[in-house]
Structure 1
């Protein structure tokens, strides 16, 4: 069982059911539906395929719906692209309807002009092109090119250091959110949130659309989000370390340290983390990754991320199945060297809830007893979430009758998902069934030790109040 989970973006390269099936076999735990591309029907069809295949395979695959957000872009050129030379002047203006040329282009977000001042630096096409503002008018920005290159239609534009006023949720996002609720997304990723208010609004809109089971993931990709990270975490169920746009706004050199900080803060607050962007980028066109990419994935595992994410590698790349397989292997190898600091991390912790106290007691006991497994009977998934914030070296097996909980658990680090029959049963009967299942799967054998948690009132959310230590077959 692999500790770190894999999120794979679906697209043209991974829409075929045979490819999807092989990707799941290779190690995909969660699929990402990217609303920046494709139609609503494309996304619905892909989710239907995933759920059908998962049912056939007897696995639970989570669905992450990723909203596009206010991606600020330039308009289009008469010839599709231009070459900007270093030192040349170039103008951005509000006339998006007129096709651009080597001297100017329109903006699809005219409000950008209000957010920019003379001497500000603008970055285009993920930072490949850099220009400096030398003159601002009411409807244009005259710039000098500091780092030129080929600029083509609809490329993104960012302001170095952040500070753009675009709302986190656009009208397109609100429409896409309704689609995500319709196919019962397990997670909803919000692009470019600046503060907690953006996340509260997204949660409310999703609930109103009928998506009551969806967990909120904040994509940290704005410079303004960094000082507000604590409040964003409090308003979210997890974060995505979205290194692409974040790097453009704060600079590449700051991102590795920010990644570690964000993952650490999220784990301390019992929140989930996904590390994303260019993790296996070269495998879009190559059947092997670079050694730097292997190190990048391994480093994220050692940082404690819940999941690592593939984007174009599986959405449009030539080797989607191979990429997943390689990433899974890297995650497994890196996990062997993950430090166990359970005692140190728990030394000064206090707990105000019975169910959380039971979860912490179970993981502490399992570690010191050198148990073979931690077995969790859960309704909401809170108990395995708390356990998964610590690396104990003991695998966690979460059993639930709730299909929505099982799909959400597919993203939790170190948690292995198992279904329970949807019927009333005693704790003793449930424990016997679970032990038999794990023995059949080769997870446990006679004489092994397992630590088990459950609620004395089975079926009630937040009722975990019991921990047992069992010798299998004893």
Structure 2
């Protein structure tokens, strides 16, 4: 394996073709994102079927992430599709306006009039347009245009500093969550959570809708100013987080985001949670076949920070070069990883373990590192052992073998972990034999290589890893 960091790519008109998707898989795609801000249920079901069919043909288990829209507050529509706002002029947001013009436009969120007061600053179209609130009168928010520009239909609105009362899960999100579970999504990204309670609500709905079936894992998208003070609790209530830098930057300011990104990655890894870094990572490749130097540095820095995955949005959904973008991102990740600090000894200083399987997982890392092993193999039911291993930088690839496809798909997001679906084994000796055959078959190891293995007894028990074994491949 030449790359540890995983790549999430959004599937859209540019990448929903089976041939294009197969090429994206071949050059490095690990997780497919379905953006529920766009498309209908039938579109997402069709794309899911395509993803499963193509990935199965390639012998890969690809995780599918359903990304809920959340309470995206937007302006209404304009008579001509767009207007040009001029700095210094007045502009009104009116919940009763049906067709906008250069003086006023409607809103899709009536409660905004109760969330803002004179003196607030509203940011439209990802902060490109800045409005100062002068007064709130009845159904109108009267503003002065501080920074003008082109404003088109349905562009988003944020309040500088956050504080909007919109719930994290709208009625649309609840129905989309039901749809995502119905089509077999492996991960659900929850947009705009403000607290752990939002994630617990999503968790309860997920359990209700899934019934006795597989429950998708939950990713909290950190994009509200209010989420920052509650970050620790949100992380603990989730299976992972997404550093959603677009809306977050609008609310807290662009300058604050780089330090927050590093802090969030650090906190997620310390809590044994996953982390995805997203938004505008390769934005120029929507139109161009190569990234800018700044984009290369941005992706590389996320890798050096320790992110599990980097994500593409419009670059792969509607861009002109979806395959080239994935390929370029994979190359950047692999190159950045050569400079990662893989010194493991300091991880174990003053470390106390509270679970046997956690101790075995980190013991395997330490042993493999000092034996200069070729590979680490985790025979795992839930993926927990591989997750603990993946929280620490290691130069040795981790191969997680499981009989559960849902666990394999979740592990597709783990940094430095290659999930492999295997047969279900009843006894350890036959399992060890098959491990060697699988490693050699895939070219992951050869005769004479040292491999460190973690396994549980009895087998096929979640959380039951209790043994570490060192083997020399025959």
User: Which residue in the other structure is 2:71 paired with?
Assistant: 70
User: Which residue in the other structure is 1:230 paired with?
Assistant: 232
| SS at 2:443 equivalent | coil
User: Which residue in the other structure is 1:472 paired with?
Assistant: 473
Trace 1:422-437 onto structure 2 (pairs within 5 A).
422=424, 424-437=425-438
2:359 corresponds to which of 348, 357, 360:
357
Q: CA deviation at 1:93?
A: 1.4
In the alignment, is residue 177 of structure 1 matched against residue 174 of structure 2? no
Q: CA deviation at 1:368?
A: 1.7
User: Which residue in the other structure is 1:45 paired with?
Assistant: 46
Distance 2:233 2:269 in 1: 14
Q: CA deviation at 1:426?
A: 2.1
Q: Structure 1: 5+ residue runs without aligned partners?
A: none
Partners of 1:206 and 1:212 within 8 A in 2? no
Distance 1:109 1:190 in 2: 19
User: Which residue in the other structure is 1:115 paired with?
Assistant: 115
User: Which residue in the other structure is 2:187 paired with?
Assistant: 187
Q: Structure 2: 5+ residue runs without aligned partners?
A: none
Normalising to structure 2: TM-score of the pair?
0.98
User: Which residue in the other structure is 1:378 paired with?
Assistant: 380
Partners of 1:29 and 1:410 within 8 A in 2? yes
Partners of 2:132 and 2:145 within 8 A in 1? yes
Q: CA deviation at 1:184?
A: 1.5
User: Which residue in the other structure is 1:453 paired with?
Assistant: 454
In the alignment, is residue 339 of structure 1 matched against residue 327 of structure 2? no
Normalising to structure 1: TM-score of the pair?
0.98
Q: CA deviation at 1:304?
A: 0.4
| SS at 1:287 equivalent | coil
Q: Where does structure 1 differ by over 4 angstroms across 4 or more consecutive aligned residues?
A: none
Partners of 2:376 and 2:453 within 8 A in 1? yes
Partners of 2:206 and 2:215 within 8 A in 1? no
| SS at 1:13 equivalent | coil
Q: CA deviation at 1:346?
A: 2.8
User: Which residue in the other structure is 1:100 paired with?
Assistant: 100
Cα deviation, 1:24-80, whole Å, max 9, x if unaligned, reads 111100000100001110000001111111111111100000000000001111121
Distance 1:61 1:379 in 2: 18
User: Which residue in the other structure is 2:218 paired with?
Assistant: 216
* Root-mean-square deviation (Å): 1.0
User: Which residue in the other structure is 2:84 paired with?
Assistant: 83
Aligned residues: 471
Q: CA deviation at 1:441?
A: 2.4
| SS at 1:194 equivalent | coil
User: Which residue in the other structure is 2:422 paired with?
Assistant: 420
Partners of 1:184 and 1:213 within 8 A in 2? no
Q: CA deviation at 1:206?
A: 1.2
Q: CA deviation at 1:352?
A: 1.0
Cα deviation, 1:169-221, whole Å, max 9, x if unaligned, reads 00110111111001121110000000000000001111111164300000000
Q: CA deviation at 1:369?
A: 1.7
Q: CA deviation at 1:341?
A: 3.7
Distance 2:166 2:214 in 1: 27
User: Which residue in the other structure is 1:9 paired with?
Assistant: 10
Q: CA deviation at 1:345?
A: 2.8
Q: CA deviation at 1:349?
A: 2.1
Moved more, 444-453 or 166-175: 444-453
Moved more, 424-433 or 329-338: 424-433
Cα deviation, 1:108-139, whole Å, max 9, x if unaligned, reads 10111111111110000000000101112232
Distance 1:168 1:90 in 2: 28
Distance 1:301 1:170 in 2: 33
User: Which residue in the other structure is 2:397 paired with?
Assistant: 395
